[in-house]
Every structure is written in structure tokens, then in C-alpha cells.
Chains A and B, each alone.
Chain A
Amino acid sequence: MTTETSLGLWGIPLGILAGTLRGSAPFLFVSLGECLTEKSGKINLGLEGTLLMGAMSAYGVSFLTQNTVGEFWAPWLGVLAAGVSGMLLGVIYGWLAQQHRVNDVATGIAMIILGSGLAFFLGKPFIQPQAPQLFTFRWGSWSDIPAVQAALKVSPLFLLGVAIAPLLQWVFRSTRWGLYIRAVGDSPQSARAMGISVFKVRMFSIVVGSFLAGIGGACLSLYYPGVWTERISSGQGLMAVALVIFARWNPVQCLWASLLFGGTQAIGPAFQSVGIDSYYYLFNAAPYILTLLIMVITCSPKRTLVGAPGALGTDE
């Protein structure tokens, strides 16, 4: 046991920085997944359920395979399982939400119930045992201060997410697939006229988006906080939907927004740890208030939002 030195007020910025590095990965993956989904013209609120299902399957598979493939690879199998379970839920959602007269918001909420129900049902045996966790890069080893060392433990999943964000941006901007997705999301009718299958493009976007959201769940259960419990997500999947709008459907901005949202989770505890201890409920609500304010400031009735997919929120 090493004696840690007290950081005093420096603990606040360090805590928020560390909270950002630790806590933003699930936001990042779910928001990238939601961004892709919304770009194709559907809002998938069901990613909350996908996140839970991903967290459960990642933890469960990591736990069950640790003796077969070893403690290093088991969590990676878990990550894969999280993605695959997300895709399965995505297929259900993608098929259902595209049926005539079926509303995507309602389907999403039903998917939250089904996804969380399945995750809780199947996840009972995994609450108590410890599953092998993903390794982390220790970028803080140059420092003698344990708090800094702990803050700079970075997950490879986080780095993967950081890499996917610009990649997704490039896909949207510069590839044929990106063009298809944007066309389908902006104007399904003209996309049909171009000979694009709206159903297939949306299905693809939704399933890939759900894959990413499932991996977001794996970040929760295999990296930080690194457990499987039924309350693991505390609404992060729903929050990611708001986050995408906050980020204007731009994957790179999703990255910044995720960092911001991840960091705000640390504000309440960091302030209390140095003795600023009033209004913590309101501190905890900070990301929601912030998002609402930014939406109010940046939106305008005169024009649609820059980057907003035209078909979003319509029945087309």
C-alpha cells in the first residue's frame, strides 16, 4: 500500500480529467452508433437496452471464457459478444421500425424494455463473480503521484472509439456508402429515385450503430466501473441520443461531446471530495441542463439544424 499524497484543490481538475478519460468511452460508442442511426433517418432510443445487453454479454462471456482462452483474450471475446448481441437487437429494431405506420420512438422504448429485460434475466449469475477486465495503457508511469498514474490509465476501447469518430466522419463525407446513408436520411424519396434501397441502407446503419452501442456496454462492464449490475447504465444510453443532437450529427463533435459528458459525471464527486457539498443533485443534472441550454441557443425556427437529417422524426 503506497501512501497517496493529497492533491487538495488540484484534485478537482485532475478528477474531472480522469473522469473524462474513464467515463466518456460508453458515451462515445453509443453516440457514434446513434449518430450513424440518426444520419440514416431513424431515432433509436432502444440503445439504452442495447447498452445494457452489451454490458451483460461482455461481462458474462469474459467470465465464462476466462479458463478457456485466458485472462487476456476473454474480455476481448466479451467485447465481441457485446457487439454481436447489440447487432441482434439492432436487427429487431431495424426491421420493426421500418414497417409501415410503426413509429421509431415507440419501437425504441419497447426495445429498451425488451433489451433491459433480457439483460437482467440472463445476467443474474454474473452479478457476483469477478470477470477478467480489459488491459489498460499506463500512460502515467512517468509521474510519482499515484493519482496521476491512476488518472492516465487509458483503455484501448477508448482509443478505438477516438479513432472511429474521424473514420466515421470520413465515411459520411467522402465515401459512396456515406453518401447513400446521408441521402437516405435526408430524403428517402430521392434516394429511392437514385435506386438506393432505403430499407437496406437503414438496416445496415442501425445494425452497425447497435454494434457500436453494444461495445459501449462492454466499456462499462469490462473497463469502468468494471462490474455488471442492473443499474450499470443509469440512463447513459438515452443520454447519448441527446448527445448526438448536441453534437449536430457530426462524429468528431460526438467525440468532444462525449468527453464533456464523461467529465461532468466527475464534477459532483470531485467537488464533494474537497468539501463543496451542496446541490449535488443539481450538479448531477448538469449535463442535461447544459444540453438543453445549448439546444435552445443554437437552434432556430427559421432553418433546420445544420447537419440534421431531413427525414428524422418523420414517418418516411
Chain B
Amino acid sequence: MRDRKFVPLTRRQIIRGLLATSAFGITTKLAGCGSSPSPNSPATDGSANAAEEVVVGFIYVGPKDDFGYNQAHAEGAAAMAQVPGIKLVEEASVPETAAVLETMRSMIEIDGAKVLFPTSFGYFDPYILEMAQEFPDVQFFHAGGLYQAGVHPDNVGSYFSYIGEAQYVAGVVAGHMTQTGQLGFVAAKPIPQVLQNINSFTLGAKSIKPDITTQVIFTGDWALPVKEAEATNSLADQGIDVINCHVDSPKVVIETAERRGVYSSGYHANQGPLAPNGFLTGAEWDWISIYTGLAEQFVAGKTLMAGDIDHILRGGLAEQFCKISPYGSAVTAAAKADAEAAREALISGELVIYKGELRDNNGNVILADGEQYEQTNVELEKMNWFIEGVKGSIDG
């Protein structure tokens, strides 16, 4: 899958690209984009043997080739479609309104889907919960740690990765590489997931240099390229020399940071090739292992309702639910060594990211000395504070 990342043109896409260029009367040869035939195109006309196939529906909130959150899921889905006995149906750009209810219903009623993966965080409540009640024999898997046993229907499961662990390791690298002791974070909206990434990143950096600060800028929405570039520039103007982000598509932030000659840390997928000089590392989802694993269970006839599949599937670096992008060329040997040590400690469970004494950035004690939040702690899912050292406010 990785090597597909930068030669992304499938045959169909090239046809479209040709359509684009010939429409303007410009003929060019497609030099440099060798036509790698799509390895993962799902079988769309497998109606003949539909009886034995498990139809799995994937729903994305944005375009599935956004080089960010949705693409990470779509690549996992493509890998799932490779599992024999799985038929994939996909729908992209489905807003979090009545539209997603109708999409789920059509997938179930028209396409015969038995398993649905509505991937956006915001699909869960009320949409997935409503549909799950109406279709008790269809399994709904949601990306996020929101499932509560006894509260939510039995055919709903949630799976999520502790990507904060990867952010922590990225923070260790950032802590090593920063010369000014100031990190920056371009964020979309102050929801717990975003805050957890910012805090974990900062804690990782503070484990190297305790005085490090992280300046946060909220752009206000998940995809505002001009504002994201502006935010990155403002951070660089303030002498910040490592910039991380949590927006739908980190490309703008990474490229702008590269142009400003500051370091960057990626998110969602590997953005290393976008910034050959300044890219340090990044926190990446690894949905492929989760999705192929689940697919094999579906084909074997296992379900949430029968109790064969856990309702909560969560894991971090250890379970390969997330990973760290390959280190960039700028990363020093010392930084790599400490990052690898932190990674090993997280994998073995020796290291807990949130442990006392921990104060928020208003001086209130979050965790007293000796207390700690394990990754499974629901408090982390409801995070509404910044740790000491983060400069920013979560109130719009």
C-alpha cells in the first residue's frame, strides 16, 4: 500500500486526467506517471456470486482521495476488499445530516450490505444509533471510542487507535529538533480528539525539554486551506520551529512549513515526500491491519451480536492500529534513539502518557501525583483541557 502513495494514478484517473487536459486543447504526454494498473479496484459487478459474499459498506464524510483522514480509511477499505469473500461498496462526501441515514439504508436495502463502516466521527450520534436500532442484524462499526456497553445497541461496535501514542513519539522528535523551544499546532476545532493530540504531542516534547511550549491556532473548520497556510505562517513568524497539525488534509501545513524553512510533523498519512528538508515524522493511522482482520472474521461468519467480535477494538502502537511516519532526513541520531525508546516503552506498556502530577494551562490539577489515565480511560475521550505548556484556549 505504501508504495502506491506517490504513484497514485489509476487507469481511470488517467482517463480523467486526459479528459481534463484535452478539454483545454493541450496535448501532453503523461511522462513520469507510469500507468500502474489499479491493484485494488473492488469488484463492482460480482452479483453472480453475491450469495456467498459479505457486502461491506464504507461511508466517508469527504472525498475519499483527500490525502488525509478519508483517504486513510479508503486505503484500509481497499485492502479489506482484497480479502476473499468481501464485496465493498463505498460512498464519499456524505454530510452528517439525514443524507447519511439514507445512504446507510440504501446500502442495506439496495446493495445488501451486512456490515457498515460509517467512518466520520460525527456519524455516530444520532445517525448510526438510529439505524442500528432499525436494522438489528446489520453490524455497524464506528471509528471512535464512543461505544458504551449497555447503553448502545448490541450491533454497534467501535474501533479506534490511540493515535496520541504516535503523537507522543512525534513530540519526542520535535522536542529534540526544536532550537527555540517553541512548537506550533494548527488545529481545526477544539474537540477532545484534537485536544488529545495536542496534549500528547506536547507531553512527548516536554519529556525531552520540560520548558517547551506549544502554541495552538484553531482555524475553525476541518478544511480551510488559506487559513491553514496563514496559521502556519503566523506560527513561523513567532519563532516557532516545529509545526504539527490536526486538519482534514495536512498537505498545506506541511508544504507551507517547508517553504518557511521550519520543521513539520505530519498526520493521517505519510507526508514525508512533501517536505524533503523539514519533515520530521508524523502520526499515521494504520487501518489496514484492523480492516483486514475484521474482514476475515466477517467471512468466517463472526458477528458483534453473537459476541464473536469485541464491541470495542482499540489499540495503539503495540496493536499496529497506528504508526509513526518514516523519519525525515533532518532527524538526528539522538532524536531517533529517544523516539524509538519512547515507542518501545509505549508498546511494552511501561510508559503511560497521562500521569500525575499533571496540571492544565490554567494551573488546575488534572491528575495528582501517583494518579494516571490509562489509554482506555473514558476521561481521555472527554478531554476538555490543555496541559501546562500549551498556549491556547478551547473556548471559541
Whether A and B touch directly in their complex, counting CB atoms under 8 A apart, is answered as yes
Q: Does B377 contact A (CB under 8 A)?
A: no
Stretch in contact with the other chain, from B24-32, B78-86, B191-199? B24-32
Question: Which parts of B207-252 form the interface with A (CB within 8 Å)?
Answer: 215-220, 223-231, 233-241, 249, 251-252
Within the assembled complex, what's the spacing in Å between the Cα atoms of A104 and B252? 35
Q: B249: nearest residue on chain A (CB-CB)?
A: A229
Contacts of B274 in A (CB 8 A): 130
Contacts of B236 in A (CB 8 A): 4, 146-147, 150
Q: Does A122 contact B (CB under 8 A)?
A: yes
Residues 11-39 of chain A, each 1 if its beta carbon lies under 8 Å from chain B, else 0: 10011001100110000000000000000
CB pair B395 A278 closer than 8 Å: yes
Contacts from A to B (Cβ < 8 Å) = 1-8, 11, 14-15, 18-19, 22-23, 56-57, 60-61, 64-68, 77, 81, 84-85, 88, 120-130, 146-147, 150-151, 220, 224-227, 229-232, 234, 236, 265-266, 268-270, 272-275, 277-281, 284
Within the assembled complex, what's the spacing in Å between the Cα atoms of A162 and B252? 26
Stretch in contact with the other chain, from B49-57, B258-266, B336-344? B258-266
Within the assembled complex, what's the spacing in Å between the Cα atoms of A146 and B262? 11
CB pair B229 A272 closer than 8 Å: no
Say yes or no: A284-B220 contact (C-beta < 8 A), given A4-B239, A226-B255, A266-B234. Answer: yes
Contacts from B to A (Cβ < 8 Å) = 5-6, 8-9, 13-14, 16-17, 19-21, 23-26, 28-32, 62-63, 65-67, 179-180, 182, 184, 215-220, 223-231, 233-241, 249, 251-252, 255-256, 259-263, 274, 277-278, 330, 391-393, 395-396
Which 3 residue pairs across A and B have the least CB separation, nearest first?
A6-B239, A225-B229, A273-B234
Beyond A19-B230, A220-B225, A284-B220, 16 additional contacts (C-beta under 8 Å) are A3-B180, A5-B239, A7-B238, A19-B233, A22-B230, A65-B28, A68-B28, A85-B23, A85-B24, A122-B20, A124-B63, A125-B13, A147-B236, A230-B66, A270-B234, A277-B218
Contacts of A277 in B (CB 8 A): 216, 218, 392-393
Contacts of A284 in B (CB 8 A): 220, 227
28 contacts between A and B (CB under 8 A): A2-B261, A4-B236, A4-B237, A4-B240, A4-B241, A5-B239, A11-B238, A22-B233, A64-B28, A77-B26, A88-B23, A122-B16, A122-B17, A125-B13, A125-B14, A127-B65, A127-B66, A128-B5, A128-B6, A146-B236, A225-B229, A227-B225, A227-B255, A229-B225, A268-B219, A269-B231, A274-B238, A275-B215
CB distance from B157 to the nearest CB of A (A): 31
Within the assembled complex, what's the spacing in Å between the Cα atoms of A14 and B238? 10
Contact count A vs B, C-beta below 8 Å? 212
Majority DSSP secondary structure for residues of A touching B: helix
